[in-house]
Amino acid sequence: MPSNPIEWRPAPTASSAADAEVNLLRRDLGGPRVLAFANPKGGVHKTTATVLAAATIGSVRGRGVLAWDDNELRGTLGLRAGSARHARTIRHLLADLVTIENAPSYEMADLLDGYLRHASDGSYDVLAGEESPRFAQRLDSHTVRRVLDLLGRTHDVICVDTGNNVESANWQTVVQAADQLVITTVPREDAAFTADWMIDLLHEVGLGRLAENAVTLLSCPTPGPSALLEDLRAHFATRTRAVAVVPYDAALEPGSSIEYAALQPSTRRAWLSAAAMMLEPFAR
């Protein structure tokens, strides 16, 4: 749904960098772009990162941004993002996918919108994963590609939470289709080890360039300093194109609905920089 972009008014000392990042995010991207948020380990802020990337980009661009929960089983993105104006999920979209795909262009966007939820401020849309374990289903590669193609007809930026199973068609197809990989992790050895393992796996299966051009996103889960943070920042700087660090924010602590406006200014500023890193290769 269209919305009015946030008027960014950063502190004077940071204004030139922030202005440049805002201008970058507003530029033409040369077509729809898929951002895949990945790390096979749970609890590394994939869902949070997917939502906040969509919220940040959407707040600047004003429209055309979507977050999709592509977990193969039950996901929580639809519960944490947007206002649930209805209970429709990917399952309901798939049931009517042929009808929507074949609709005239002037009707297709409105039909698709009936299956999407929207952020409370209207800055981005949400395609929720199945929220009932009774109906959870694994999608085959062809179906995932059809959904991505459909979303790309109406949205410029598609942020995808890929889930945890690297063996699933959901995960593999989205990663193969991704324009930008975002590797999410937290400053813990187990989380970083899994991210490293995934990078090695991508090189082994012929997706080394995607891994090398990835953005590593280090999310701080606690307010205190982490002894590992700088070591991990330096390590992933040797393995990926860029590393972004986003701070702890108490507004994210409850694990409930994410309200972008409730974040601290420093958190929103960090996310602005991270989002600019993600889209920088495509901005024209």
Encode pLDDT of 141-181 as tens digits. Answer: 999 999 999 999 999 999 999 999 999 999 999 999 999 99
Supply the pLDDT for residue 122: 87
Encode pLDDT of 186-211 as tens digits. Answer: 999 999 999 999 999 999 999 999 99
List domains and CATH numbers for the chain: 28-279 (3.40.50.300)
Supply the pLDDT for residue 1: 47
d(CA 123, CA 260): 10
Reported as a pLDDT band with limits 50, 70 and 90, residue 79 is: confident
> Residues near 186 by Cβ (< 8 Å), separated by ≥ 6?
43, 44, 45, 218, 219, 220, 221
pLDDT exceeds cutoff 90 at 72 = no
d(CA 228, CA 243): 14
Supply the pLDDT for residue 168: 93
Calculate the alpha carbon distances from 116 to 8, 19, 35, 206 in Å: 27, 31, 18, 34
DSSP conformation letters of 174-218: HHHH-SEEEEEE-SSHHHHHHHHHHHHHHHHTT-HHHHHT-EEEE
- Say which residue the tokens 């429709």 belong to: 88
pTM of the model: 0.93
Q: Quick one: which of 5, 29, 13, 7 has its CA closest to 283?
A: 29
Q: Per-residue pLDDT averaged across 127-137, rounded?
A: 77
Supply the pLDDT for residue 85: 73
